[in-house]
Amino acid sequence: MNPYEMACRQLERSAELIDLKEDVVEYLKVPDRVLKVKIPVKMDNGRIKIFLGYRAQHCGVRGPYKGGVRYHPDVTMEEVIALAMWMTWKCALVNIPFGGGKGGVRVNPKELSKNELERLTRRFITAIMPIIGAERDIPAPDIYTDEQTMAWMMDTYSVNKGYTVPGIVTGKPVELGGSVGRSSATGRGVAIITRESAKAIGMNLKDASVAIQGFGNVGYWTAKILEEMGARIIAVSDSKGGVVDYDGIDVNSLKEYKVRHGSVVGFAEEISNEELLEMKVDILIPAAIGGVIHRDNVDKVKARMVVEAANGPITPEAEKKLDKRCELVVPDILANAGGVVVSYFEWVQDLERYFWDLERVNKELERIMVNAFREMMKVKNEFGYILWRDAAMIIALRRVVKALELRGIFP
Ligand code: NAD
């Protein structure tokens, strides 16, 4: 099943629970707009290499499209559309006035020099310029794109416009109109939701054992903030493999090690990514790529709770089984929404040209995440036996459908 089919399956299941009309479900399955672009890049050796890029805008009834851009060799149009759809639900769930968007370039960024990456980024943004804008569609970082990528995107868009437009992207460096607390926001949100989820199932977060797949932006900040909350991070991995220490990994030392060596591998006793997913831990957090828990390995997952920090790490088939094996499976659209929430704060600050301090950013993030978790619990209790994802989806769907009804179909 490709990610788009997976997203449609999730939509159909939740829509059925609230008796959504078939034509509305059809409306929501089809993205508003998808742009596929050619990205020719002059490589350092003088030769031209062609890359493909996509920007999908799923549903804009609640506001401008919002979503990251990922650089990955496996990017496909279906994946980008699915990710845009998940962004629609995520923004609605945490009740921020955005619709879902997503972008991707089919490239292995590790094979490009910094100059080549800059040229690729600038050409990609120029190619999708007709459909983006601070009031239209606002990109952000995702897998293998970062603050520097956002700075190049903002500069390229601004140079083409003839004036500086900080609100065109979020996740920028603070010096260019980025928000304090944005880089840690997704991980902080994951940690807040993990803490609330632990409370909900009567698990003491202090000394709870945690395994995290992925040690990039989301994995690192999740690990660091959970460690501060008293949890014991016992296993971490990245694309090259994982490490385990049952006494607890010192997250900052691991980060320093990864900066020096390019991977977590070698820091402690080694384990594979597959072994990490099957560890007997209190909390398992997939924070890397999609589809890592599937029908062939779901029966081996032994965690009490799984928190989807990555987008789509559990296939729908596996999720049903996992829901029976685990006490709580927290869906991505809630768990990793902290990033888009602080992106929203960044956009608001850019439009107002008035910047908040870290205390305000983290306080407002905490309020929104905790509220969304409580709403999800309420719907879950209201419906009896449904997946946690369905509870989250029902809240999101109700908001999107209400906006659609109020706006109506043009003409
Ligand atoms: P990142 O590029 O900073 O880090 C990705 C990490 O995953 C790296 O440690 C990488 O080594 C690891 N990885 C890649 N392929 C792997 C594999 N096959 N097996 C194990 N590990 C692998 O990306 P990120 O921003 O941390 O994003 C991680 C996930 O979180 C993605 O699914 C992304 O869509 C999602 N997400 C990110 C944000 C954000 O604000 N950055 C917001 C919401 C959701």
CATH number at residue 88: 3.40.50.10860
Does residue 204 share a domain with residue 147? no
Does residue 193 share a domain with residue 160? no
Report yes or no on 298 lying in a domain.
yes
Percent of the chain residues past pLDDT 90, beyond the cut = 97
Distance CA 13, CA 147 (A): 37
What is the helix (H) or strand (E) element at residue 70, kind and residue range? strand 65-72
Is the pLDDT assigned to residue 384 strictly greater than 90? no
Mean pLDDT estimate for the chain = 97
Percent of the chain residues past pLDDT 70, beyond the cut = 100
Of the residues 167, 201, 236, which one is the last residue of a structural domain? 167
Report yes or no on 120 lying in a domain.
yes
The response to whether residue 375 sits with its C-beta less than 6 Å from ligand 1 reads no
What pLDDT, in 10s, does the model give residues 272-328? 999 999 999 999 999 999 999 999 999 999 999 999 999 999 998 899 999 999 999
Report yes or no on 82 lying in a domain.
yes
Residue-range definition of the domain harbouring residue 106? 32-167
Rounded to the nearest angstrom, the distance between the alpha carbon of 309 and the centre of ligand 1 is 9
Q: For residue 144, give the ligand 1 atom closest to its CA.
A: 2
The dihedral built from the CA positions of residue 215, 217, 220 and 223, taken in this order, carries a sign that is: negative
Of the residues 305, 330, 355, which one is the last residue of a structural domain? 330
Does residue 123 share a domain with residue 42? yes
The response to whether residue 286 sits with its C-beta less than 6 Å from ligand 1 reads no
Does residue 226 share a domain with residue 158? no
Residue-level pLDDT at 398: 98
3-state secondary structure of 152: helix
Rounded to the nearest angstrom, the distance between the alpha carbon of 278 and the centre of ligand 1 is 19
Integer CA distances (angstroms), 381 to 255, 330, 375, in order: 40, 15, 10
Report yes or no on 317 lying in a domain.
yes
Count how many residues are written for the chain: 411
Report yes or no on 132 lying in a domain.
yes
Is this structure's pTM higher than 0.85? yes
Report yes or no on 337 lying in a domain.
no
pLDDT band at 1 (very low <50, low <70, confident <90, very high): confident
Does residue 83 share a domain with residue 133? yes
The response to whether residue 145 sits with its C-beta less than 6 Å from ligand 1 reads no
Does residue 319 share a domain with residue 192? yes
The response to whether residue 144 sits with its C-beta less than 6 Å from ligand 1 reads yes
Residues 130-152 have a mean pLDDT of 96
Give the residue whose CA is nearest to atom 23 of ligand 1.
143
Residue-level pLDDT at 385: 85
3-state secondary structure of 109: helix
Rounded to the nearest angstrom, the distance between the alpha carbon of 117 and the centre of ligand 1 is 18
Closest C-alpha to 340, from 186, 223, 154: 186
Task: Kindly report the number of other CB atoms within 10 A of residue 162's CB atom.
Answer: 7
Does residue 214 share a domain with residue 312? yes
Does residue 204 share a domain with residue 155? no
Token representation of residue 322: 């996992």
Does residue 230 share a domain with residue 140? no
Does residue 325 share a domain with residue 193? yes
Number of independent structural domains in the chain: 2
Token representation of residue 12: 């159909």
Residue-level pLDDT at 171: 96
Is the pLDDT assigned to residue 410 strictly greater than 90? yes
Q: Which residue has the tokens 């820091």?
A: 267
Distance CA 121, CA 268 (A): 36
The response to whether residue 273 sits with its C-beta less than 6 Å from ligand 1 reads yes
Is the pLDDT assigned to residue 111 strictly greater than 80? yes
Report yes or no on 26 lying in a domain.
no
What pLDDT, in 10s, does the model give residues 198-223? 999 999 999 899 999 999 999 999 99
Distance CA 66, CA 339 (A): 11
Distance CA 130, CA 283 (A): 43
Residues 343-356 have a mean pLDDT of 98
Token representation of residue 21: 């009309």
Report yes or no on 404 lying in a domain.
no
Distance CA 357, CA 81 (A): 35
Distance CA 204, CA 181 (A): 27
Check 66, 90, 102, 224 and give the catalytic one: 102
Of the residues 307, 330, 353, which one is the last residue of a structural domain? 330
Q: For residue 289, give the ligand 1 atom closest to its CA.
A: 32
What pLDDT, in 10s, does the model give residues 234-270? 999 999 999 999 999 999 999 999 999 999 999 999 9
102 is catalytic: yes
The response to whether residue 220 sits with its C-beta less than 6 Å from ligand 1 reads no
Q: For residue 311, give the ligand 1 atom closest to its CA.
A: 32
The response to whether residue 310 sits with its C-beta less than 6 Å from ligand 1 reads yes
CATH of the domain at 200: 3.40.50.720
Does residue 209 share a domain with residue 118? no
Per-residue burial over 209-233, b if 16 or more Cβ lie within 10 Å, else e, is bbbbbbbbbbbbbbbbbbbeeebbb
Does residue 256 share a domain with residue 143? no
Contacts of 381 (CB under 8 A, 6+ apart): none
Rounded to the nearest angstrom, the distance between the alpha carbon of 110 and the centre of ligand 1 is 14
The response to whether residue 118 sits with its C-beta less than 6 Å from ligand 1 reads no
Give the residue whose CA is nearest to atom 32 of ligand 1.
310
Q: 201 — phi, psi (to 5°)?
A: -105, 10
